[in-house]
Chain A
């Protein structure tokens, strides 16, 4: 979107000095209130004085007040330009306060041992968490599993592409098929893990086990061995997310001009060649976008694992998220869990940056 058209507005603003000053007072005044409250509450927390605060809510309210004042002051101080800022400012403030502050806070927790259920509270323990992570085979195992889970996107993509091509063909009842294919995406992963993982894959009388037995697998066990269990998790996850890629690819397919295919057909290209020489290259940008988004969602995979196998057997199905979740549930160690999460975040950011750079290069058409 490089050749984007912006709205060109010329406004004449005469901001009176008083208004300007009032705006500044509003911002700094409310910030002052906020900092005062933070100071008072810190005093109370360290036991210097008691102001009868039962929690940190007052600080939160002061922060909210400051945010509102900041927005209002934009209009007071900058007139029309301020009104334009007002479009983006609330969202920016919201995201910063919900992401940046907690992340900084998380960095603080990450280098400490903090068991929420123990009375000792938070204890700074330097690099202990690093050594613990280094020696934690289950964390590395979870990271290795994530690689498998991400590789599973390739067959998912192939299936989604195939279905999209079929849906793009001249067929009847297209709307029915589209709705039916979309359905798995609507379902809650928790419900899916019960519906499929716990009931349809039930060993004695789940319909899939029955089918497996008629097909000649005498004692079907879907979560007994590590590889099969991982495969099952992959399949369930694929089941819910194939529609997503399918819809994106279908949208891309329908944007390809028909003339290209007709021209190729007139030239006598066989269907297989038409696909590889026309459809696939033209779909490359859409495919890469779809795969990138799918990878982002895959990196968050946890719900199904937590509910179906809770990481078992022997950590074979653990994703990083489900591992940290159990780490917290079993040992309620916030410090170590946060450290693992931060390491995961760093890995993801590096991985995604490299991937996006590569994707950028691939998406450029080669002549």
Chain B
């Protein structure tokens, strides 16, 4: 509402305790929830630098009630005094990290390429494959979202064994692409339907082919949607545990599997677990802070028609 200009009665200028406390309560709730969201991350970061007694005493604030130590990073071979020394732990960790990175980036890239093309086609042309029309094809793609991973896991275990794809990154990438493809198509369809068809019509009149128009004119406009779907795919595939736990063992094991396997075997060596967890979540935290608006754009796709 616009600013009030006329103050007719005393009530207009009176102090409004209700409104004041209302705002206060809003901030209180927001801060409380922010605390709930951020405290586990804070806990993990600080535990990385704690020694055993600090953990047991429940010290929370570094330099105030305990002195930070390099224990957690040392256990991964990444602390200042071990980083230039040969270290098998670090090798192992970096290998897992690299596997995760390749699997997630590879799968997201393929999914975005396949998914954008499919979503564009479905939003612009009318198809008939047998009895399948556009809406059926769309539904076919989106219905893959319902498919629980457990249905595919065991058949894939057997198939991959026969195809010698078990414990390879390629096999993992193929499966991950499948799991995120419906989401990419969902987001991209939303994106493309917001672009007017007149653009392509103009391009076609000017002599571009349909693929030329798609690649040179439409894709650059749809870039935000592509970034959004890429990041959401990245989040989902980077965090994926179920398939990785079943289908990889020594060669292509990803970071989440490594984190999970440490919890059982090592008992509680708190700092090293904290350091590992931190490594598993840190890349996405950075991405979330930098590219927050794309993530939100992606998730809001389809919410507002």
A56–B154 touching, CB < 8 Å: no
Collect the chain B residues with CB atoms within 8 Å of residue A196's CB. Answer: 40
Check A92/B239 contact, CB under 8 A, given A190-B280, A341-B148: no
A286–B281 touching, CB < 8 Å: no
Instruction: Tell which of B71-79, B85-93, B118-126 binds the partner.
Output: B118-126
Instruction: Tell which of A100-108, A125-133, A225-233 binds the partner.
Output: A100-108
Per-residue 0/1 for B236-267: is the Cβ within 8 Å of any A Cβ (1 yes, 0 no)? 00110110011000000001110110010000
Q: Give A191 to B263 CA distance when docked, in angstroms.
A: 10
Which of A7, A85, A180 touches B200 (beta carbons < 8 Å)? A7
Collect the chain A residues with CB atoms within 8 Å of residue B299's CB. Answer: 244, 247-248, 251
Minimum CB distance partner of B157 in chain A: A334
- B5 in contact (CB, < 8 A): no
- B65 in contact (CB, < 8 A): no
Check A187/B284 contact, CB under 8 A, given A98-B175, A194-B273, A324-B150: yes
- B210 in contact (CB, < 8 A): yes
Collect the chain A residues with CB atoms within 8 Å of residue B255's CB. Answer: 188
Minimum CB distance partner of B213 in chain A: A7
- A278 in contact (CB, < 8 A): no
Q: Give A202 to B47 CA distance when docked, in angstroms.
A: 13
Which of A54, A98, A251, A321 touches B178 (beta carbons < 8 Å)? A98
Minimum CB distance partner of A245 in chain B: B299
Which of A167, A200, A328 touches B246 (beta carbons < 8 Å)? A328
Q: Give A341 to B163 CA distance when docked, in angstroms.
A: 22
B151–A341 touching, CB < 8 Å: yes
- B204 in contact (CB, < 8 A): yes
Q: Give A166 to B274 CA distance when docked, in angstroms.
A: 33
Q: Give A62 to B33 CA distance when docked, in angstroms.
A: 55
- B10 in contact (CB, < 8 A): no
Which of B121, B178, B268, B289 touches A84 (beta carbons < 8 Å)? B121
B99-145 residues with Cβ-Cβ distance < 8 A to A are 114-115, 117-118, 120-127, 129, 137, 140-141, 144-145
Q: Give A347 to B158 CA distance when docked, in angstroms.
A: 24
Minimum CB distance partner of B290 in chain A: A179
B30–A166 touching, CB < 8 Å: yes
A188–B146 touching, CB < 8 Å: no
B273–A199 touching, CB < 8 Å: yes
B58–A102 touching, CB < 8 Å: no
Collect the chain B residues with CB atoms within 8 Å of residue A171's CB. Answer: 26-27, 30
Per-residue 0/1 for A92-123: is the Cβ within 8 Å of any B Cβ (1 yes, 0 no)? 10110011001101100100001010000000
Q: Give A320 to B151 CA distance when docked, in angstroms.
A: 11
B287-305 residues with Cβ-Cβ distance < 8 A to A are 287-289, 292, 295-296, 299-300, 302-305
Per-residue 0/1 for A1-39: is the Cβ within 8 Å of any B Cβ (1 yes, 0 no)? 100111101000000000000000000000000000000
Minimum CB distance partner of A187 in chain B: B281
Collect the chain A residues with CB atoms within 8 Å of residue B147's CB. Answer: 99, 345
- A70 in contact (CB, < 8 A): no
Interface centre among B242, B257, B273, B305 (most CB of A within 10 A): B242
A188–B239 touching, CB < 8 Å: yes
A90–B303 touching, CB < 8 Å: no
Instruction: Tell which of A147-155, A215-223, A294-302 binds the partner.
Output: A294-302
Collect the chain B residues with CB atoms within 8 Å of residue A337's CB. Answer: 154
A198–B34 touching, CB < 8 Å: no
Q: Give A17 to B70 CA distance when docked, in angstroms.
A: 74
- A185 in contact (CB, < 8 A): yes
Collect the chain B residues with CB atoms within 8 Å of residue A289's CB. Answer: 302-303
Minimum CB distance partner of A256 in chain B: B304
- A359 in contact (CB, < 8 A): no
Collect the chain A residues with CB atoms within 8 Å of residue B141's CB. Answer: 91, 95
B127–A88 touching, CB < 8 Å: yes
Interface centre among B34, B246, B274 (most CB of A within 10 A): B34
B38–A180 touching, CB < 8 Å: yes
How many A residues have CB within 8 A of the partner chain? 105
Q: What is the CB-to-nearest-CB distance from A45 to chain B, in angstroms, rounded to a whole number?
A: 9
Q: What is the CB-to-nearest-CB distance from B219 to chain A, in angstroms, rounded to a whole number?
A: 12
- A239 in contact (CB, < 8 A): yes
- B29 in contact (CB, < 8 A): yes
Collect the chain A residues with CB atoms within 8 Å of residue B154's CB. Answer: 106, 109, 324, 328, 334, 337-338, 341
Which of A54, A178, A198, A300 touches B149 (beta carbons < 8 Å)? A300
Check A189/B26 contact, CB under 8 A, given A7-B197, A90-B117: no
Collect the chain A residues with CB atoms within 8 Å of residue B300's CB. Answer: 247-248, 250-251
A54–B164 touching, CB < 8 Å: yes
A91–B118 touching, CB < 8 Å: yes
Which of A87, A191, A207, A348 touches B58 (beta carbons < 8 Å)? A207
Collect the chain B residues with CB atoms within 8 Å of residue A300's CB. Answer: 148-150, 242
Which of B44, B211, B242, B295 touches A195 (beta carbons < 8 Å)? B44
Q: Give A80 to B263 CA distance when docked, in angstroms.
A: 57
Collect the chain A residues with CB atoms within 8 Å of residue B155's CB. Answer: 102-103, 105-106, 109, 338
Collect the chain A residues with CB atoms within 8 Å of residue B156's CB. Answer: 102
Q: Give A94 to B180 CA distance when docked, in angstroms.
A: 13
Q: Give A109 to B151 CA distance when docked, in angstroms.
A: 11
B303–A251 touching, CB < 8 Å: yes
Minimum CB distance partner of A249 in chain B: B303
Collect the chain B residues with CB atoms within 8 Å of residue A243's CB. Answer: 37
29 A–B contact pairs at CB < 8 A? A1-B193, A57-B163, A84-B210, A85-B121, A91-B118, A91-B181, A91-B185, A92-B140, A94-B114, A99-B178, A166-B29, A186-B287, A187-B285, A189-B256, A190-B239, A194-B259, A195-B43, A199-B47, A202-B268, A244-B299, A251-B300, A286-B304, A289-B303, A299-B146, A299-B148, A321-B148, A328-B153, A338-B155, A349-B146
- Nearest first, the 7 closest Cβ-Cβ pairs linking A and B are A87-B121, A251-B300, A188-B239, A91-B118, A55-B164, A186-B284, A190-B256
Q: Given contacts A179-B289, A255-B304, could you give 19 more A-B pairs where the C-beta distance is less than 8 Å?
A: A83-B210, A87-B117, A105-B159, A116-B161, A180-B38, A183-B37, A183-B285, A186-B285, A187-B281, A188-B238, A189-B239, A191-B281, A202-B268, A248-B299, A296-B146, A334-B154, A341-B150, A344-B148, A348-B146
